[in-house]
Amino acid sequence: MNKLTKLVKDWVPTLLIAIVLSLLVRSYVAEAMRVPTESMDPTIQVGDRVIVEKMLWATSLKHGDIVVFHPPIAGETKLFVKRLIGLPGDIVQIKDGALYRNGAKVDETYLAVKMDYSFGPVTVPKDHYFFLGDNRNISYDAHLWDTPFVAKDKLIGKVVLEIPLHKLRD
């Protein structure tokens, strides 16, 4: 057996296993994604990267989580990245520049600018969620969609790590 044949025989199975494992991890466990818009500014800025954990069956979502999902917008193919504001059964309202959940004002320290619109109140249906961007006044999010709720089966994963590449550019 010549050297090339031995090299191929030794390395091809290892490379194939590595490729298959990589595809499985990216499809079902975690994936790096780039944020293309200002809707999550100042938390996540344009061009920053996030690591999205896709094993939602193994974790529970909570208010304030940042989630990647398919929006309830006909014909939209891009994924959205927004903050989870309402869980199933929550009553969500925006009034006087503030968010209210189940009648209580929510302290949103991550917002840079007060909201300049009103919305709701709406009740989040079973197996659905309500999302808003952190840059509320320019974010194309639930307060502007015809259907403001995202079905559970449209969720991709939860952001577990933010990589602020904008700081490298500054």
So what's the pLDDT on residue 43?
Answer: 86
C-beta atoms surrounding 127 within 10 Å: 10
Percent of the chain scored above 70 by pLDDT?
82
Which residues are tagged catalytic? 39, 82
pLDDT for 82-122, tens place per residue?
999 999 999 999 999 999 999 999 999 999 888 999 999 99
Is residue 68 assigned to a domain? yes
Kindly state whether residue 48 falls inside one of the protein's structural domains.
yes
Task: Measure Cα distances from 90 to 9, 41, 93, 104, 118 in Å.
Answer: 58, 25, 10, 11, 17
Q: Identify whether 10 is part of a domain.
A: no
Asked whether residue 114 is assigned to any structural domain, the reply reads yes
What's 53's domain CATH number?
A: 2.10.109.10
- pTM score, two decimals? 0.81
The domain containing residue 121 runs over which residues? 31-164
pLDDT digits (tens, 9 = 90+) for 112-159: 888 999 999 999 999 999 999 999 999 999 999 999 999 999 999 998
Q: Does 70 reside within a domain? A: yes
Q: Exposure of 16 by Cβ count < 10 A (0-12 exposed, 13-18 middle, 19+ buried)? A: exposed
Domains in the chain: how many in total?
A: 1
105 lies in some domain: yes
Residue 132 lies in a domain: yes
In a domain? residue 134? yes
User: How distant is the alpha carbon of residue 87 from its chain centre?
Assistant: 15
